[in-house]
A and B are shown apart, each in its own frame.
Chain A
Amino acid sequence: MNNPIFDKIFLKKASEEEKEEFFNAIRNDENLKAEYKQYKKLLTIHSLDNKSIPEDRRKQLFAELWKRTKKENNRNSLLIRTLKYAAVILVTVGISYLLTNHTDVNPEHSVIKEYRTTQGSIATIQLSDSSEIWLNANSSMRITEKKNGDIIAVLDGEAYFEITHNETRSFIVDLGKIQIKDVGTSFNIKAYDDDEQIAATLIEGRIDIQDTTGKKLVSMTSNEHFRFHKNENRFTLKSIDTNLVTGWKNGKFVFLEASLREICEELEKWYSVEILIDKRQNENEIFSSVIKKSTTIKQVLELLKLTTGMNYRIVEKGDGTDVIHLY
């Protein structure tokens, strides 16, 4: 490769503009890309030595490390921490708290609360035992806390649950044909009434799926994903990468093998736009991707254009709603 910027990059002397120019230039050349990666590897190897850090700093770092080995819980790894941090930032964008908070007290002295979210917002619900529920856009939940402590949540939409384990009470999510009983866990449920499927993903802990009589259908353990097909009355269970599924909780769209049509439906809900897909496009084509919800619709469309090759045209209607044509 005779590109002068190439050399500069490896000597760490290239400016941001030069780097951008370079990466644009090699994007379509498989050979140049391969060569770049070879050099990156060689450079890495060449740089490996034991003198990369001053002795004092190393001693200090060891002292810190030693303290950490004494602590019991070391699951607070960098990766989990950075993800949590990202969650804090992203969740504060577009949160809407308790749009309708309707409290009923019925004769049996249970407390019923209703929660509802609109397009483009998520709500977080805290229960008295510090369990937390995140409600995704366009969803509603009715939570009944019975006098004996049992909790039943009726969900239409998508929610992510982090339920405090409590032997003395049961926590059940009622989804019509099936119920999900928590056994002290974090799990995600997607059950929009007008969707044909109900999906539940267990992050941590254990949940039982039962039918309306309380009979157990299946137990789920962590990182399993359950899908119930309402019309066919059957379900599937598989292992999954849970960060993808709960990405929405951290303010991202996550599409795991979703069809173009499903993706557009999610985008329509969040951005309050109408998306028309030209007949020549295959709306059943499958994609997987992760997009931050704070991204503008325009950026998302650009992204779709890049990944699917589809073009778009935005038509602004007089009443402020936009229609997007995909072709």
Chain B
Amino acid sequence: MTSGFSFDIQLLKEGDKATYEAIYHEFFGTLYSLSSQYIFKTEDAEEIVQEAFLKLWEVKSRLNENTNIKNFLYTITKNNCLNYIRNEQIASFHLKRYQDELQYNYEALYQLEDDYSKIEELKLKIDEAIDSLPAKWKNIFRMSREEDLRYKDIAQKLGISEKTVEASITKALKKLREELKEYLTLISVLINLI
């Protein structure tokens, strides 16, 4: 999971800045990844995470040895994102197309597992699936999703046509879908059990 991060909860409870800061640096990125998936204004996505950490500070005296800090921060961030989407929905009530996307995003986020360790398991599976892609596709896929390059730029970098790039990505996604099909059904089964 994480690189063996640990801290002294007692110090956090007492308001030790260094401990608080260490926790911040350890978890901020992940939480921000989450909020920026659902909140498109950078400042707001950052602010949501800031507020999660503020909340942690607010309740620090009530923490104990058993508190899962990561889960705590994740839950607050997730809930704040849900509230934010709700407000967006009210504010943009007349923009129909936007309403659809907001509603689906809301529901998708709502259904995201409550327990962060489950999410980490799923992430491992997804990463494995991507890893098992044929090298050619894997590279193109990574450039597109992770480096956020346009098809044109990828084509240029690799000396192939844009059409080839598009075709590779479509094929890669198709393969991923097949690989993850059982996990898709797993997720829907889990949801139905709740």
Contacts and interface: CB of A to CB of B under 8 A. Distances in A.
A29 interface: no
A11 B145 contact: yes
B133 interface: no
Interface string B23-58: 011111110111011100000101110110110011
B30 A49 contact: yes
A171 B26 CA distance: 52
Interface size class on chain A is: 35 or more
Nearest to A57: B46
Nearest to B91: A86
Contact of B83 (A20, A36, A79): A79
Contacts of B32: 52-53
B123 interface: yes
Given A11-B145, A53-B32, A82-B87, A65 B53 contact: yes
A65 B56 CA distance: 12
Nearest to A54: B29
B178 interface: no
Given A62-B24, A74-B54, A45 B123 contact: yes
Interface string B13-27: 000010011001111
Nearest to A90: B91
B148 A41 contact: no
A40 B30 contact: no
A295 B92 CA distance: 11
Kindly name the residue among A27, A52, A290, A291 whose own CB sees the greatest number of chain B CB atoms within 10 A. A52
B54 A65 contact: yes
A79 B83 CA distance: 8
A37 interface: yes
A69 B24 CA distance: 13
A126 interface: no
Given A11-B169, A40-B105, A69-B54, A48 B30 contact: yes
Nearest to A44: B37
B108 interface: yes
Contacts of B80: 78-79
A20 B29 contact: no
Nearest to B148: A12
Given A7-B169, A50-B29, A83-B87, A41 B187 contact: yes
Contacts of B187: 38, 41
A46 interface: yes
A48 B127 contact: no
B115 interface: no
Contacts of A295: 93-94
Contacts of B123: 45-46, 48
A52 B53 contact: no
B54 A20 contact: no
B49 to A, nearest CB: 8
A43 to B, nearest CB: 7
A199 to B, nearest CB: 21
B126 A41 contact: no
B157 interface: no
Contact of A65 (B24, B27, B151): B24
- The residue among B29, B30, B36 with the most chain A CB atoms within 10 A of its own CB is B29
B84 A61 contact: no
A52 B51 contact: no
Contact of B184 (A20, A38, A46, A292): A38
Q: Give 10 closest A-B pairs by Cβ, nearest first.
A: A50-B29, A40-B108, A23-B100, A37-B108, A20-B97, A52-B33, A48-B33, A44-B37, A78-B47, A52-B29
Given A12-B148, A37-B108, A38-B187, 16 more contacts: A4-B170, A19-B101, A24-B97, A35-B184, A40-B109, A41-B111, A42-B180, A48-B119, A58-B29, A61-B46, A64-B50, A69-B20, A74-B54, A78-B47, A82-B87, A291-B93
28 contacts: A11-B145, A36-B104, A37-B108, A38-B108, A38-B188, A40-B109, A41-B109, A41-B112, A43-B37, A44-B37, A44-B112, A46-B123, A50-B29, A52-B32, A58-B29, A65-B53, A66-B20, A68-B54, A74-B58, A78-B44, A78-B48, A79-B84, A79-B87, A82-B91, A83-B87, A86-B91, A290-B90, A292-B93
Interface of B: 17, 20-21, 24-30, 32-34, 36-38, 44, 46-48, 50-51, 53-54, 57-58, 80, 83-84, 87, 90-91, 93-94, 97, 100-101, 104-105, 107-109, 111-112, 119, 122-123, 126-127, 130, 144-145, 148, 150-151, 169-170, 173, 180, 183-184, 187-188
